[in-house]
Amino acid sequence: MAATDFLRKRFMPHIWCPGCGHGIIMRALLTAIEKLDIEKNDIVMASGIGCSARMLGYIDVHTMHTLHGRALAFATGVKMARPDLTVVVPMGDGDALAIGGNHFIHAARRNIDMTAIVMNNSTYGMTGGQYSPTTGCGEYGTTAPYGTVVQPFDTVELATAAGASFIARTTTYHAREMARILADAIRHPGFSVVEVLTQCPTYYGRKNEKGDAVEMMERFRDCAVPVGPLDDNGRATAADVEAADASVETIPIGVFRKEVRAEYCDAYRRQVIEPAVAAASAAADAAGGDR
Amino acid sequence: MSTSRRIEVNPDWCKGCNVCVAFCPKQVLALDERGKAYVANIDACIWCRECELRCPDLAVTVVVERAS
Ligand SMILES: Cc1ncc(C[n+]2csc(CCOP(=O)(O)OP(=O)(O)O)c2C)c(N)n1
Ligand code: SF4
Ligand code: SF4
Ligand code: SF4
């Protein structure tokens, strides 16, 4: 199968603007799914609202286009009912970290086995370029005509503190590596967060004079610094980042964390479902009735 | 056994963003007068697939056909 065999071709060309990075992420995800050789019927994708969330309209697996910020809650329901399915949730930075911030941190805390792709374009693209929790301090948006006065979230640090067990960052320039990381994230048995820095040339790019899609991707290329290899605890060593000149803008990329710890559905089955079923059947036996 | 390779650009999906042109390491691709990507110099292609992976509109396909 080719990666594009997972496309609902009848809906193409897609709605995204010329040069929008979201399409590059979709392509990388399809490549990852193809590489992992998962059946279409065994994958569920849930999304909220946003340009990013529109992705799953184009992907020919089981898809649920749900409420802004709430995709992880829907995905959690699916995963608990059918832990055998592979669950992937593409989200915008607003969807994941603003309106959906609470779902995000608690999904990470539970370590439920699914993959959240945070498509970070530093803005609310769909609604016209309002600033988001990842817009840099002093940067512009339609709701920040004088520049924002708050510092942005660092998605990797947030996911680390909340307890996600696989955490990575990459960019649309690094498309080949992105496909590899996404495959790794989907395979990982726990909550995986892959932040992809992506370009919204239409709003964020224009408001902040970052140029066209090519220039925005060149910036990703020029600023990216790979983090060091994982240590014995599955944490990235920061050597390469520290070695970089502090006066130059850097974007640390790569896998920051990869550790195996108790997964939610698995732990819940062992600790709650199995004892509850055993207790119910023991009670029925004690009552001596036919079941 | 012979292998034939080519690059296909789907003009109905291409939005002329220039990403494939700018990041091709061998200047194989260009935009035509309508702003659609086309293969301008296939002889220089090293079949690295960077264009296919980075096209935001999934409009580029590197086709490899093996015939025996
Ligand atoms: C409950 C609710 N509040 C607000 C909105 C309006 N809204 C739609 S998309 C969006 C933000 C989209 O930004 P992001 O999630 O970063 O995705 P992008 O469009 O940039 O890919 C907002 C605020 C909504 N649809 N539903
Ligand atoms: S508004 Fe921005 S995020 Fe939305 S499709 Fe256009 S470029 Fe992409
Ligand atoms: S990257 Fe894709 S959409 Fe952009 S010019 Fe090339 S073929 Fe067209
Ligand atoms: S395969 Fe590589 S060399 Fe050939 S057109 Fe694409 S980017 Fe250029």
pLDDT at A129: 98
Tell me the pLDDT tens digit for each residue of A150-176.
Answer: 999 999 999 999 999 999 999 999 999
Work out how many domains chain A is built from and give that number.
2
Are residues A197 and A285 both part of a single domain?
no
pLDDT bin (cut points 50, 70, 90) of residue B14 is very high
Q: Residue A111 class from Cβ within 10 Å (0-12 exposed, 13-18 middle, 19+ buried)?
A: buried
Question: Quick one: tokens of A26?
Answer: 């979709």
Distance CA(A56)–CA(A285), nearest Å, equals: 48
Distance CA(A228)–CA(A236), nearest Å, equals: 6
pLDDT bin (cut points 50, 70, 90) of residue A62 is very high
pLDDT at A240: 55
Summary mean pLDDT of chain A: 95
State whether A24 and B56 contact (CB < 8 Å).
yes
Question: Quick one: tokens of A210?
Answer: 């970052």
Distance CA(A16)–CA(A50), nearest Å, equals: 11
pLDDT bin (cut points 50, 70, 90) of residue A32 is very high
pLDDT at A291: 53
Identify the DSSP state of B57: T
Going by CA atoms, what residue is nearest to atom 1 of ligand 2?
Answer: A125
Are residues A180 and A213 both part of a single domain?
yes
Are residues A112 and A33 both part of a single domain?
yes
Distance CA(A54)–CA(B33), nearest Å, equals: 31
pLDDT at A88: 98
- In this model, does residue A243 exceed pLDDT 60? no
pLDDT bin (cut points 50, 70, 90) of residue B2 is confident
Question: Quick one: tokens of A70?
Answer: 């709430």
Tell me the pLDDT tens digit for each residue of B24-50.
Answer: 999 999 999 999 999 999 999 999 999
Indicate if ipTM > 0.85: yes
Beta strands in chain B (DSSP E): 2-9, 29-31, 37-39, 60-67
Q: What domain range includes position B45?
A: 2-67
Residues 6+ apart with CB under 8 A from B41: B26, B27, B28
Continuous segment of H or E residues that includes residue A182:
helix A175-187
Q: Residue A171 class from Cβ within 10 Å (0-12 exposed, 13-18 middle, 19+ buried)?
A: buried
Are residues A165 and A119 both part of a single domain?
yes
| Rounded mean pLDDT, A205-215 | 98
Are residues A73 and A217 both part of a single domain?
yes
- Do A87 and A44 form a contact (C-beta atoms < 8 A)? yes
Mutation choice for A interface testing from B23, B49, B58, B64 by most A CBs within 10 A? B58
pLDDT at A190: 98
Residue of A208, A96, A198 lying closest to A141 (CA atoms): A208
Are residues A69 and A161 both part of a single domain?
yes
Summary mean pLDDT of chain B: 96
Are residues A13 and A107 both part of a single domain?
yes
Work out how many domains chain B is built from and give that number.
1
Q: Residue B44 class from Cβ within 10 Å (0-12 exposed, 13-18 middle, 19+ buried)?
A: exposed
pLDDT at A249: 87
Distances (CA, A) of A76 to A13, A89, A119, A186, A284: 31, 10, 20, 15, 31
Q: Does B56 touch chain A (CB under 8 A)?
A: yes
Are residues A143 and A247 both part of a single domain?
yes
Instruction: For the full predicted model, state whether its pTM sits above 0.80.
Output: yes
Residues in chain A closer than 8 A to B19 (CB atoms):
19, 213-214, 217
pLDDT at B66: 87
Atom of ligand 3 nearest to the CA of B35: 5
Distances (CA, A) of A78 to A42, A210, A229, A265: 12, 40, 34, 11
pLDDT at A146: 98
Q: Which of A3-7, A59-63, A136-140 has the lowest mean pLDDT?
A: A3-7
Distance CA(A167)–CA(A159), nearest Å, equals: 7
Atom of ligand 4 nearest to the CA of B29: 5
Q: Residue A279 class from Cβ within 10 Å (0-12 exposed, 13-18 middle, 19+ buried)?
A: exposed
pLDDT > 70: what percent of chain A? 96
pLDDT at A288: 82
Distance CA(A87)–CA(A15), nearest Å, equals: 24
Tell me the pLDDT tens digit for each residue of A244-280.
Answer: 566 788 999 999 999 999 999 999 999 999 999 999 9
| Rounded mean pLDDT, B9-33 | 98
Domain CATH code at residue A249:
3.40.50.970
Q: Does B36 touch chain A (CB under 8 A)?
A: no
Residue A16 Cβ inside 6 Å of ligand 2? The answer reads yes
Residue of A25, A202, A208 lying closest to A125 (CA atoms): A202
Q: Pick the more confident residue, B2 or A221.
A: A221
Q: What domain range includes position A276?
A: 262-291
Chain B residue with minimal CA distance to A198?
B56
Distance CA(A160)–CA(A182), nearest Å, equals: 18
Are residues A186 and A206 both part of a single domain?
yes
Residue A51 Cβ inside 6 Å of ligand 2? The answer reads yes
Distance CA(A217)–CA(A172), nearest Å, equals: 7
Domain CATH code at residue B58:
3.30.70.20
pLDDT at A290: 58
Mutation choice for A interface testing from B9, B10, B14, B19 by most A CBs within 10 A? B19
pLDDT bin (cut points 50, 70, 90) of residue B67 is confident
